[in-house]
Amino acid sequence: MAVTPKLQTAITVSADPMVPSPYRVRRVRRETSDTFTLELESVNGERFSFAPGQFNMLYLFGVGEVPISISGDPARSDVLVHTVRAVGPVTRAICKLKRGDILGVRGPFGSGWPVAEAVGNDIIIVTGGVGLAPLRPAIYYILAHRGEYGRVALLYGARTPADMLYKKELAAWRGHFDLQIEVTVDAARPDEWRGNVGVVTTLIPRATFDPYHTTALVCGPEIMMRFTVLELQKRGLPDDQIYISMERNMKCAIGLCGHCQYGPHFICKDGPVFRFDRVRGIFGKREI
Amino acid sequence: MIGEHVIVERQDFQKLLDALRHKGYQTVGPTVREGAIVYDQIASIEDLPVGWTDEQDGGKYRLKRRNDQALFGYVVGPQSWKRFLHPPVLSLWKAKKNSKGFEILPNASEPPRYAFIGVRSCELHAIFIQDRVFTNGKFTDLHYQARRQEIFIVAVNCVQAGGTCFCVSMKTGPKVTVGFDLALTEILDGQQHYFVVEVGTEQGAQILQQVPTKKAQPTEIAGAEERVAQAARQMGRQLDTTDIKDLLYRNLEHPRWDEVAMRCLNCANCTMVCPTCFCTTVEDVTDLTGTEAERVRRWDSCFTLDFSYIHGGSVRASPKSRYRQWLTHKLASWIDQFGTSGCVGCGRCITWCPVGIDITEEVRAIRETEPSRA
Amino acid sequence: MDTLERLLSEHPFFKDLDPRYIQLIAGCAREVTFKAGEFIFREGDPSNKFWVIRSGKISLEVFAPGRGPIMIETLGEGDVMGWSWAVPPYRKQYDARALELTRALEFDALCIRTKCDEEPKLGYELFKRFAQIIGQRLQATRLRLLDLYGSHS
């Protein structure tokens, strides 16, 4: 039998994937005390297309570069949206950017959420903290193609009500679409919160979905994902219908620097989104 | 002419270097410096390690005088050819502030055209492995590709094995079989000193036209082959690669990792001397005025804490996990990633380990003491 | 089967419980409704009841001087509330307050304890189910102890 050569992604010599393109900050919105959403536009007027779940490398002149997932609407190529939490020197500097400031963008990189493969299925999205950011493009996509999916549930955990991302949007989605949204926080005061209190995994037994025809999209801290996968398995979801998004140190984002290795995988090009059965052998193993 | 064997006499060897330099190649080869044989620019035979050999064992490397005037009478030193194809420090681009923000000027400098003199079979395989890493995936390392495309390879067959060599186990030597322009076997026999040269490419044949040669006799070819076969029988080390990927994957929690971590200094020497280790980091720097910035790529090592740092801490915080990462990557996950082992059996990581940790011994220990499989 | 028995057998907590036992414990249960804002019990109260929630939402709270009430867990449809009735000193450790109109089945703990003593197999079955719930709550609490979304996440 003849072997068909694999199609190579076209790379022209001039398009060095290590060279950032300049983008201008159009708008900055404060989400929480340490998390900001930036709207960017290309200085050169380039359009930006990406798949939900992919990420960019954001470069701040002379400061450094960090991988940040794309959190905007994949249907809009005129604006690039990133939600950034200030946790290190580069992200702290990015969160201080103002309208009109310039930063460098390389990307998009990595694998996306299986929004096309999931057509016809129920969708359960389980996320915590800033893990909602890389899932927001998938939610936009699914809502734009709402008729192609069955039941859709979004289960979101945050530390406190003040730490929730996209509050207005969550409220709007809940009001306007056929979407089950459950939000839970670790602790709250009754005068500031009327929703659930508890860890996000406790919402899973209450979500409505048909385990045989459901795709689960999971993103959050690794421990949260471990227990989420356990709960989904308890509900009868097979491993090949569960997708998780992983995070590791990254320098190049193109599979060449070696930093993001996760067992045999490179998070930057084989991930960040993995079908769970492909990583279950190492998922949760110490210090892999 | 490809596949043909000719004889080049020792006294004509300089003409080979001259021919390459005349063709515009920078000739790079072995030379003695600071008590070791390193690779650097060479102009004449006198730059080569004439009459030197190396003695190697775990954590041990010594230069010794030979009792002849062999040009390639050593095995391998601390460096490998990767320093030329995948430089230890490389400027990726510079950026300048301007009215629109900043502009980026990629490093478009013309890469040098190298002729590598004295590439061993294991080293050639290491280059093939890095070819897969840098040019065979979804993205290509354009800097590597530009250098790699231009090189001229004068390979050398090993006629003696070093104390830490195990290329036979890794099926990467000692005989040079593919991917060379010219392959030499150095013969010293009484008063005779000559090279049996196999022609690998058309470019190789063209260069040889500038050098006095004569057709090699079958006995001379057979004599050269026998010397290489002898080296194969002298291997200093062995590594059983049977089922090695799964062996290591299923032993991620083997107690041996703790044991080796007690000895390992996490110095990263093994990754620096390894001819296939490819990891890098980038540094973003600015000038003092803050108007110019630069991104510099440097070799990095999975033995550093910083390597796996994500906000809050390192994923591989323990020395044990870092050694395990290096070894399982080299011998197991490399196979999943690139369809080949990441080890060529050159023995450098054993020789240059300050405490003499031996990769072949570590694998053997895991294999022999694997907890019984239910 | 009367209404109470049907409601019991439909609740996830009693899933697949022998109908004979359902009948037995139904004698200890009654239907209750709590209005939004209503306190169901207070910290320090004797623990002589537990509830299986049919609909609505209840918050477990602790009152911290200077900080006010802090919600530490919410319970809703399908959940069981209260297990301190099963172990000494039989006292409530939190405040429980309905956040919205909540319907539940309320059990007289003394009655249940007596039934369990008389019918140890029923007791074993019930305690297995409570052990599972206590385990889940413990796990969920441990996860929050890690401050998953804190700056180290």
Residue A7 pLDDT: 33
Which pLDDT score, from 0 to 100, does residue A5 have? 35
Gap between the terminal Cα atoms of chain A: 38
For residue A107, the SS3 value is strand
Quote the pTM value.
Answer: 0.92
User: Considering only alpha carbons, which residue of chain C is nearest residue B309?
Assistant: C152
ipTM of the complex: 0.93
User: Averaged over C69-95, what is the pLDDT?
Assistant: 92
Cβ contact A102–B101 (<8 Å):
yes
Give dist(CA A166, CA A130) in Å, integer: 10
Residues of C within 8 A of A130 (CB-CB) are 149
Q: How many C-beta atoms surround the C-beta of residue A87 within 10 A?
A: 19
Q: Residues C83-139: pLDDT tens digits? A: 889 888 999 999 999 999 999 999 999 999 999 999 999 999 999 999 999 999 999
- B236-250 pLDDT tens trace: 899 999 999 999 999
Which pair of structure tokens corresponds to residue B156? 């050398």
Residue of C nearest to A129 (CA): C149
Nearest to B100 among A43, A249, A269 (CB): A43
Whether C151 has a pLDDT exceeding 80, the answer reads no
Which of B93, B138, B312 is closest, CB to CB, to A269? B138
Contact B281 A259 (CB under 8 A): yes
pLDDT at A9: 36
Residue A63 neighbours by CB distance under 10 Å: 17
Contact A256 B133 (CB under 8 A): yes
DSSP β-ladder status, A265-266 and A273-275: unpaired
A36 closest CA partner among A79, A74, A5, A81: A81
Model pLDDT, residue C1: 57
- Nearest-CA distance C5 → chain A (Å): 23
Q: What is the reported pLDDT for B108? A: 79
Judged by CB atoms closer than 8 Å, whether chains meet at A88 and B337 is answered as: no
Name the DSSP letter for residue B330: I
pLDDT, one tens digit per residue, over B62-93 is 999 999 999 999 999 999 999 999 999 999 99
Cβ(B301)–Cβ(B268) below 8 Å: yes
What CA–CA distances, in Å, run from C4 to A140, C16, C32, C83, C106?
45, 16, 11, 21, 11
Task: Tell me which chains share at least 3 CB pairs under 8 Å with chain B.
Answer: A, C
Q: State how far residue B27 is from chain A, nearest Cα, in angstroms.
A: 27
Which positions of chain B have pLDDT values less than 50?
none
Considering only CB atoms, which residues of chain C are within 8 Å of chain A?
57, 59, 61, 67-74, 76-78, 97, 99, 136, 139-140, 143-144, 146-151, 153
**Does the pLDDT at position C149 exceed 90?**
no
Of A132, A235, A261, residue with least CA distance to A184: A132
For residue C147, list chain B residues with Cβ-Cβ distance below 8 A: none
Tell me the nearest-neighbour CA distance from B368 into chain A, angstroms.
23
Could you give the CA distance from residue C53 to residue A219 in angstroms, rounded to a whole number? Answer: 30
Beta bridge partners of B39: B30
Residue of C nearest to B313 (CA): C152
pLDDT in the model for residue B373: 64
Q: What percent of chain C has pLDDT above 70?
A: 97
Give B330-357 pLDDT, tens digit per residue: 999 999 999 999 999 999 999 999 999 9
Residue C73 has pLDDT above 90, yes or no: yes
Which parts of chain A sit beneath pLDDT 50?
1-14
Q: Provide residues of B within 8 Å CB-CB of chain C.
A: 311-313
The C-alpha of A196 sits at a distance from chain C's nearest C-alpha, in angstroms, of 5
